[in-house]
Amino acid sequence: MEQRKHWWNGRWGRLARRDVFLRADADRWHVEARSGGAEGVSRFTEHDNEESAYDTVRHLLTGPGEWREVAAVCLPPVRGTGQP
């Protein structure tokens, strides 16, 4: 699975932080909405096409906070994928 985009609401702390991830796996698109940082709780949706996935992302980003995209170069490597 390839991570395509990542947004966060600009807030620090376990109770305030929210993240939204857009991922692609072959012809399936996945959106993860996470509350509470890395140790938080996630909700997942699966989509048949990119546009449907982006519709979900746009809906999620209308929530409170100063949503900003996280640049891919700032992301730490995902453990267990064999990538450095």
User: Does the residue 23 lie in any domain?
Assistant: yes
Tell whether pTM > 0.75: yes
User: Does the residue 77 lie in any domain?
Assistant: no
For 45: left if phi > 0, alpha if psi spans -120 to 50, otherwise beta; the answer is beta
Residue range of the domain that includes 20: 2-68
User: Does the residue 76 lie in any domain?
Assistant: no
Residues 49 and 29: beta-carbon distance below 8 Å: yes
Token pair 């857009």 in the structure block, residue: 22
* pLDDT tens-digit readout, 29-40: 999 999 998 899
Q: How many structural domains is the chain composed of?
A: 1
User: Does the residue 34 lie in any domain?
Assistant: yes
| Alpha-carbon Rg for the chain in angstroms | 13
User: Does the residue 8 lie in any domain?
Assistant: yes
* pLDDT tens-digit readout, 32-69: 999 998 899 999 999 999 999 999 999 999 977 789 99
User: Does the residue 80 lie in any domain?
Assistant: no
Residues 39 and 14: beta-carbon distance below 8 Å: yes
